[in-house]
């Protein structure tokens, strides 16, 4: 995206999408090009794959199998321009308060910016704070990895338990799995998030308290699940090693020093971040401490460099070859113009098995919104339902529906040319499956082709594949800390692009609040502290049924 000044945006109010000439042009275009047929599109344009392939930050995107005609993307990019996507992106990088419903800047890009950069929020250069925290994380990680940091009884730390939830869990848990080839064999990490005690019990199973370090990750340090888990973990440790051991076995990642201190963690063992880092955009902040301990500071810096490479690609590339813009506009086309309700993310890489879950939060918490900046209900579909599974497991589970079901589900395939493991033909077979699946989704198999195979007539409809199921194919040479960072930033920024086009705030999450606040009263009910019915009849009946002690 070209450089622009923050002045180009008048925050927070934007024009309504439905008033944009380019949006009307996109809708009119859609009417003209129905029905969309990928076999015909490929036959008519031999260079389609080359035209619809772009590269940046070690990633290549082939979007030729999207349901688009040769002129479609140009119209979508015109829409991106009219919505001021490049200007808004520049404003975000510069610290504008794009998260206007919470009055916050959106500066996760500062977490991986060059140390020499100057990014100012309220007159303070945040890069100094970022570098200071990175330095402290490095020092601490080195100490744990080398054995210089010892537990209360003098033993080395062998197990790290990350306690957090949502943005304070999904990123580190995903990255720990993705970066297994780089993790220290001397240390293992476990992740606890659910308030269900089974989660903590399973994580603690077999651990030696003397060799276990807990990292309590909570921006607010008030989150119910995390505080309950941290309290129980603390009790587990204290029962084995005594109260004095807490300071050697607990550290915190938070913005809330007072609460961290009250929990009994020395603030010198607290790693800070800032209100301009949203939870689901925080795995490259101190929330990534478990990642750094596992893979070491050098690999963590490579991860950050990968994020930054994609930030730079997004900032400097023309829209026509800008991966986050292309992916963002493909998502707008599929969800809001074609009305397709879901997105399947299919990493053909077992190390990315947790990536779909990570993306569910990133995309659905960011853009699962129904009102625009004006407070008006939007008249188009915003965020799709995101789901996925590592290939090839998904093929033997839900692909049947993707191929022949009544709902068309767009797909993102993610692949790597090489594997970190040395196992024979496994990678070749894996990638062959990914390529063939993309082919099958796009082109299907006509009933005439099925007949020509000698299929009995009654079976022909059952063995026919409609095709025209759109997909993008994202690939890189190898999964490394750097390509992982770039991949995450790619989805962060394509999510951003969509939010800007839709005119919604991608950075708040008010939709998670109601259930939390209602739970306060339900807890009282389950504890038997409310007498008469105060809820609807269903809620009251459920409280009576699930009360810990029968009334």
- Nearest-approach distance from CB 484 to ligand G6Q, in angstroms: 19
Helix axes 72-82, 323-332, angle to 10 degrees: 100
Please, which residue, 83 or 280, has the CB nearer to ligand G6Q? 280
Token pair for residue 392?
A: 């090839």
For β-strands 159-163 and 212-217, DSSP reports them as parallel
**Site map for ligand G6Q, 211-250, x if CB under 6 A?**
-------xxx--x--x------------------------
User: Any catalytic annotation for residue 365?
Assistant: yes
By DSSP bridging, strand 342-347 and strand 270-272 are unpaired
Q: How many residues at the interface with ligand G6Q, by CB under 6 A?
A: 14
Catalytic residue among 365, 369, 389, 493: 365
CB of 391 to ligand G6Q, least distance (A): 27
* 189 close to 294: Cβ distance less than 8 angstroms: yes
Residue 525 binding ligand G6Q, by CB under 6 A:
no
Q: How many CA atoms lie within 13 A of 92 on its CB side?
A: 27
Three-state DSSP state, 245: helix
Which residue in 97, 112, 145, 280 binds ligand G6Q (CB under 6 A)?
280
Nearer to ligand G6Q (CB atom), residue 97 or residue 145: 97
Among 66, 168, 367, 506, interactor with ligand G6Q by CB under 6 A: 168
Element (H, E) at 225: helix 224-241
Are 251 and 214 in contact by the 8 Å Cβ rule? The answer is yes
Three-state secondary structure call for residue 109:
helix
| Using rule CB under 6 A, residue 160 touches ligand G6Q | no
State yes or no: residue 278 binds ligand G6Q (CB under 6 A). yes
Contacts of 23 (CB under 8 A, 6+ apart): 17, 79, 82
Catalytic-residue membership of 186: no
Binding test (CB under 6 A) with ligand G6Q, winner from 58, 210, 365, 372: 365
509 is a contact residue toward ligand G6Q (CB under 6 A): yes
Query: Of 166-174, 379-387, 477-485, 527-535, which part binds ligand G6Q (CB under 6 A)?
Result: 166-174
Task: Report if residue 368 touches ligand G6Q, rule: CB under 6 A.
Answer: no
Instruction: Say if residues 112 and 485 touch (Cβ distance below 8 Å).
Output: yes
- Give the closest residue to 109 by CA, choosing from 88, 135, 136, 80: 88
Question: Residue 135 catalytic?
Answer: no
Give the residue with the Cβ less far from ligand G6Q, 285 or 464. 285
Integer Cα distance of 289 and 514 in angstroms: 31
Selecting among 24, 135, 516, 524, the annotated active-site residue is 516
Binding site for ligand G6Q (CB under 6 A): 165-168, 218-220, 223, 226, 278-280, 365, 509
Q: Which sequence positions are flagged as catalytic?
A: 365, 396, 516
């Amino acid at each position: 995206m070209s450089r622009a000044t923050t002045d180009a945006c008048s925050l927070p109010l934007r024009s309504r999408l439905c008033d944009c000439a380019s949006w009307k042009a996109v809708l009119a275009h859609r009417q003209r090009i129905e029905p969309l047929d990928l076999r015909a599109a490929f036959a008519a344009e031999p260079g389609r794959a080359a035209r619809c392939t772009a590269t940046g930050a070690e990633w290549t995107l082939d979007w030729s199998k999207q349901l688009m005609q040769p002129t479609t993307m140009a119209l979508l990019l015109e829409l991106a321009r009219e919505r001021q996507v490049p200007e808004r992106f520049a404003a975000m990088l510069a610290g504008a308060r794009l998260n206007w419903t919470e009055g916050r800047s959106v500066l996760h890009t500062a977490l991986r910016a060059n140390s020499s950069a100057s990014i100012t929020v309220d007159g303070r250069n945040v890069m100094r704070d970022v570098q200071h925290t990175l330095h402290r994380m490095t020092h601490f990680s080195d100490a744990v990895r080398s054995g210089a940091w010892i537990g209360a009884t003098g033993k080395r730390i062998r197990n790290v338990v990350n306690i957090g939830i949502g943005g304070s869990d999904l990123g580190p848990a995903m990255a720990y799995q993705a970066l297994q080839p780089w993790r220290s064999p001397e240390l293992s990490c476990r992740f606890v998030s659910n308030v269900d005690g089974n989660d903590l019990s399973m994580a603690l199973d077999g651990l030696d308290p003397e060799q276990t370090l807990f990292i309590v990750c909570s921006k607010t340090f008030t989150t119910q699940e995390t505080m309950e888990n941290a309290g129980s973990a603390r009790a587990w440790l204290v029962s084995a090693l005594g109260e004095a051991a807490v300071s050697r076995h607990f550290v915190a990642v938070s913005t809330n020093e007072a609460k961290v201190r009250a929990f009994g963690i020395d603030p010198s063992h607290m790693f800070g971040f800032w209100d301009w880092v949203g939870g689901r955009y925080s795995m490259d902040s101190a929330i990534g401490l478990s990642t750094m301990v596992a893979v070491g500071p050098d690999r963590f810096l490579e991860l950050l460099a990968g994020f930054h490479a994609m930030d730079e690609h997004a900032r400097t590339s023309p829209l026509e070859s800008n991966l986050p813009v292309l992916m963002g506009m493909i998502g707008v086309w599929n969800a809001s113009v074609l009305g397709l309700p879901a997105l399947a993310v299919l990493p053909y890489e077992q190390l990315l098995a947790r990536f779909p879950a990570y993306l569910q939060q990133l995309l659905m918490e960011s853009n699962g919104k129904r009102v625009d900046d004006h407070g008006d209900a939007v008249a188009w579909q915003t965020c799709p339902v995101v789901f996925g599974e590592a290939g090839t497991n998904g093929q033997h589970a839900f692909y049947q529906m993707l191929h022949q079901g009544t709902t068309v589900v767009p797909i993102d395939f993610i692949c790597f040319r090489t594997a970190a493991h040395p196992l024979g033909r496994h990678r070749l077979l894996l990638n062959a499956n990914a390529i063939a699946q993309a082919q099958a989704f796009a082109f299907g198999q006509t009933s005439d082709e099925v007949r020509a195979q000698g299929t009995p007539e009654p079976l022909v409809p059952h063995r026919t594949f409609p095709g025209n199921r759109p997909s993008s194919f994202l690939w890189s040479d190898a999964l490394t800390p750097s390509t992982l960072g770039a991949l995450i930033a790619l989805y962060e920024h394509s999510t951003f692009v969509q939010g800007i086009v839709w005119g919604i705030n991608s950075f708040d999450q008010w939709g998670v609040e109601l259930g939390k606040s209602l739970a306060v009263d339900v807890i009282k009910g389950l504890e038997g502290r409310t007498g008469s019915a105060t809820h609807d009849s269903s809620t009251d009946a459920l409280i009576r049924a699930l009360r810990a002690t029968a009334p």
